[in-house]
Structure 1
Amino acid sequence: MTHHEQKLPDSPESYWRDSTDLPSFQELTEDVKTDVAIIGGGMTGITTAYMLTQKGYRVVLIEAGRILNGTTGHTTAKITAQHDLIYDELINHIGMSKARAYYEANLQALSFIRNLVHEQNISCDFQEQDACIYTTEEKSVQKIRKEHEAYQKLGIEREFIKDLPVPIDIKAGLIMKNQAQFHPLHYLKHLAGAVQKAGGKLFENTAAKEIKEGDHPKVLTTNGHMIISDYVVCCTHFPFHDKKGFYFARLEPSRSYVLAVKPKNPYPGGMYLSIDQPSRSLRSVTIGGENMVIVGGESHKTGQGKDTIEYYRALKSFAESVLGIEDILYRWSTQDLITLDKIPYIGPIYPKEKRILVATGFRKWGMTSSTLAAQIMTDHITNESNPYKEIFDPSRFHPDPSIKKAISFNTDVARHLVEGKLEQPLRTPDELAPGEGSVVSIGGKRAGAYRDENGRLHTVDTTCTHMGCEVEWNDGEKTWDCPCHGSRFSIDGEVMEGPAVAPLNDPKN
């Protein structure tokens, strides 16, 4: 078989999900009272539930779908404080001591995971690895040098390099020592079990619709039940309760892609990330007892980009040139949110609202960020001081790049809003072949249609129920994606990813 024939898997599936037998949980069928209500069953929600139950708090966690199926189930799972190029920028924007604190906060999250894995003997392929950023372009060497200087100033253990142990011709690289990688779902399955043992309650297929503020905030679910608590923690990726925080204007959704490949040439270990565009990421993973490699990259803004299969093809040809491909075992994609100043928003959702907390904007570094978020929010609830809370406070405001960026996010949103409304679809549903989706015209109106493999047609109104932008077809994942704020919907219009709460309408109405 020639290497050109290495086929991409037919449908996207994450290796982490496929290799983890997760328990399933009932949906919430009654009103309940608890100390803390947690919305979202990803790494942030489950780690927060774990920390709180260990301190004796009663916790109810609800998840709209299945737990650990969102961003957490689709990560590359690097546990590191090396977040691309960031430290030189942080020193310039927030000063030396806060930049150092950002590093320490993420390092502390890494040691929390490391200690827990060792103490509780969690088998989750936890491995110490060095993390390395690199460039293949002469013009970016200066960026790596500046980042190296930033590491020096901040006292980060480092090494400046000009060669990689993988065959990529680099101009410069920077290593952060003693970082780690693991199997995130094996780790979190253990934590979810510990939450249950400690009396915490987890519910699936239970979506939050609204939060009523007050001394005892109430979470209302779409199936008509209520959770009354002292604190509500929103770990839903995008804070859907957004009446005054304007988070939609302060977060940009970004997608990226992942392949798990069996390489022809042995992989030397280490976690690598290019700072060039399009991005490239590498790390090892053990699948079925064999050493495989996770190849990631190709970021773009959600709902805006070329045909999604093209991104997978680009990663495939990169993997082929660097490692040689024996087989491609999995492909999947993921979405995350980026804040205006690249630092996550963690803490009270608005300055005066101390009982509703939020954690969002992890910029694809969710393994340390979610652990750190769980620590900050747990300390807030238990009334303990946390040295890092100020840096991540959602109501912080660095006037510097924020204003310009907020305006550009929003002009981009406005442009998509207007363009989507003006676009005249030329196709009709009859023209769609099985397995094909497209924006079409139904009765003279813009609609979305997908013809499944059995020839059945699924149609939706393409107006996003969040703020009225027009969704676009995502062929790689067979979803309808909103280019404005990153909501994603199934072929039948069900919400797969927020901020939208309501499904897409029926185009015939």
Structure 2
Amino acid sequence: MTMHSFWLETAPGRPYPVLAGNVEVDVAVVGGGIAGLSTAWELTRAGRSVAVLEADRVAAGVTGHTTAKLSSLHTLVYARLSSSAGAEAARLYARSQQEAAEHVARTAAELGVDCDLEPVPAFTYAESDETAEKVRAEAEAAREAGLTASFVTGSPLPFPVAGAVRVEGQAQFHPRKYLLGLLEAMTARGALVYERSRVVKLDEGTPCRLTTADGATVTARDVVVATHYPVFDRALLFARMEVHRELVVAAPIPAERDPGGMFITTEQGIRSVRTAPYDDGRRLLIVTGESFKPGSGGAGERFARLEAWAAERFGADRIAYRWAAQDNDTTDRLPFVGPLHPGARHAYVATGFGGWGMSNGVMSGLLLAALIGGEDRPWSGLYDPRRLHPLREAGPMLKLQASVARHFVGDRLGSGPVGTVADLGPGQGAVLKVGGQRSAVYRDESGEIHAVSAVCTHLGCIVGFNDAERTWECPCHGSRFDVDGSVLQGPAVDPLRRLSADADGEPGADESAAGPADTGNREQSEG
């Protein structure tokens, strides 16, 4: 199964250098996705010197694999938020999200960035009568929160719905084209951007100091950690965040079959739909869904279900692109944007966007730039990572930690789909117990065996194999690794230990001369 993102293929961008030596700036931003780059842009145009450090390529991680809906209608958020936190919280959420969406349009126009921005309505729809009642309540709550929302019983979709929330004034865009435009604008103003520069240590002194895996450093008065899942978690945010992964398929359709909007339903394991401009006057149908926990397996089957749904509902019989994205939900379903921990004075974080990273990423940039500049926003308290609401969060937190505990213990006791290395076919991977240790073993298409420790280097859970993306994934906190053990996605910053293989292909001794122990990020082991 070929995996590639439409956004990355159609906007490749230019490379940026690896950080070497030492750099001093006003603000250092760790993470080059939409949250990090939006923050860097706002600070740069405010006159501050900024350095962005990205572990891989800028705007190519989660942001390069999004669905790219620029919407303030986030499934069923307003009814839930109004009930749990009150009407004012819902109004602040709506204002902050809509402001972010409109800010993208203004910024793109100001900079002359052609990012395929298309104004379209957004819909949350239901096919069952039971879900339709939830949708009706959401329409009322969204309208009371200040959005131009209405409950409708029909939609432009090519199949009947039992009801839908319709919100006007939303948009869809090409996230890479937009962010590459921001990069050109900020570097022209003096911002520094570094790729393949993984940050592994943060010293919150005066000033702060960041260190990369290669030993290079950045000194800055303020630091923003915008790595999707925080690689530095001094406030134990990982105990209040749950990771899920969703799959995306995209297929060209005739322009006349474009439903002309953005659509999502909570039914069938999530189904999200939008289109984008394509070649020869056609549209690219983009369908997202099949939400699952990283490392739980079965990604190939999930892709098949999603493709079958796209073919049945839209006649999309030729899949041109497949990719996947990862998101974090907080226990109270609101992002964490603000000071990194209760004692932080110059360290900030942006995370927990719950699948709505486009508006939340831009919102984070606006909010963090204001906080660093000594200003405030009406919704600062709403998103403050230091908040804790025991009554609202106790149940989700206990459920989340119970799930982590089950994986931490149960995955060490259970057996995989095969018993030995000899049972693995080409393109297959499994966690096997060899020589008393859990080994993550993969056989490539040529028959060669790749073996690494199955113990995640973040906090020691056992990874699982993703058969569609050919990756090892941690079910506890979402770290992802290539078959050679290298880090693809945090919070882990250190690779899985490589293991040698004997003549029969069985994993053997530790092949990595250097590196940390199986458990604990380098940041944590260094204090």
Q: TM-score interval w.r.t. the shorter chain? A: over 0.9
Structure 2: unaligned runs, 5 residues or longer: 500-508, 511-527
Q: CA deviation at 1:48?
A: 1.0
How do 1:135-150 residues align onto structure 2 when only pairs under 5 Å count? Answer: 135-150=126-141
2:427 equivalent among 423, 431, 435? 435
Q: Is the 8 A contact 1:429 1:441 kept in 2?
A: no
Structure 2 residue 223 is matched with structure 1 residue 258: no
Q: Is the 8 A contact 2:277 2:283 kept in 1?
A: yes
Structure 2 residue 399 is matched with structure 1 residue 408: yes
Aligned partner of residue 257 in structure 2, secondary structure:
coil
1:330 equivalent among 308, 321, 332? 321
Q: CA deviation at 1:155?
A: 3.2
Q: CA deviation at 1:326?
A: 4.0
Equivalent residue number for residue 50 of structure 1: 41
Q: Is the 8 A contact 2:91 2:144 kept in 1?
A: no
Equivalent residue number for residue 7 of structure 1: none
Q: Is the 8 A contact 2:42 2:365 kept in 1?
A: yes
Question: Per-residue CA shift, 1:54-102, capped at 9, x if unaligned?
Answer: 1111111111111112110000000000001010111112111121010
Structure 2 residue 114 is matched with structure 1 residue 117: no
How do 1:213-362 residues align onto structure 2 when only pairs under 5 Å count? Answer: 213-243=204-234, 245-263=235-253, 266-289=257-280, 290-304=282-296, 306-362=297-353
C-alpha distance in structure 1 between counterparts of 2:494 and 2:317, whole Å: 44
C-alpha distance in structure 2 between counterparts of 1:428 and 1:329, whole Å: 36
Equivalent residue number for residue 182 of structure 1: 173
C-alpha distance in structure 2 between counterparts of 1:168 and 1:389, whole Å: 41
Opposite residue 247 of structure 1, the aligned amino acid is L
Q: CA deviation at 1:138?
A: 1.3
Equivalent residue number for residue 437 of structure 2: 445
Equivalent residue number for residue 376 of structure 1: 367
Q: Is the 8 A contact 1:261 1:330 kept in 2?
A: yes
Q: Is the 8 A contact 1:424 1:446 kept in 2?
A: no
Q: Is the 8 A contact 2:241 2:329 kept in 1?
A: yes
Structure 1: unaligned runs, 5 residues or longer: 1-9
Q: Is the 8 A contact 1:481 1:489 kept in 2?
A: yes
Count of paired positions = 498
Q: Is the 8 A contact 2:95 2:146 kept in 1?
A: no
Q: Is the 8 A contact 2:111 2:185 kept in 1?
A: no
Aligned partner of residue 24 in structure 1, secondary structure:
coil
C-alpha distance in structure 1 between counterparts of 2:293 and 2:448, whole Å: 31
How do 1:18-37 residues align onto structure 2 when only pairs under 5 Å count? Answer: 18-37=9-28
Q: Is the 8 A contact 1:263 1:327 kept in 2?
A: no
Aligned partner of residue 269 in structure 2, secondary structure:
coil
**Structure 1-normalised TM-score?**
0.95
CA RMSD of aligned residues (A): 1.3
Q: Select between 430-439 and 492-501 the one with higher mean Cα deviation.
A: 430-439
Q: CA deviation at 1:495?
A: 0.9
Aligned partner of residue 149 in structure 1, secondary structure:
helix
Equivalent residue number for residue 3 of structure 1: none
Aligned partner of residue 105 in structure 2, secondary structure:
helix
How do 1:70-219 residues align onto structure 2 when only pairs under 5 Å count? Answer: 70-219=61-210
Question: Per-residue CA shift, 1:398-418, capped at 9, x if unaligned?
Answer: 222311111110010000000
Q: Is the 8 A contact 1:35 1:231 kept in 2?
A: yes
1:394 equivalent among 385, 390, 400? 385
C-alpha distance in structure 1 between counterparts of 2:143 and 2:373, whole Å: 36
Aligned partner of residue 386 in structure 1, secondary structure:
coil
Equivalent residue number for residue 14 of structure 1: 5
C-alpha distance in structure 1 between counterparts of 2:52 and 2:5, whole Å: 24
Q: Which portions of structure 1, spanning 4 or more consecutive aligned residues, are displaced by more than 4 angstroms?
A: none
Q: Is the 8 A contact 1:44 1:374 kept in 2?
A: yes
**Structure 2-normalised TM-score?**
0.92
C-alpha distance in structure 1 between counterparts of 2:275 and 2:444, whole Å: 36
Q: CA deviation at 1:159?
A: 2.1
Question: Per-residue CA shift, 1:147-177, capped at 9, x if unaligned?
Answer: 1221232232122111222222211111011
Opposite residue 480 of structure 2, the aligned amino acid is R
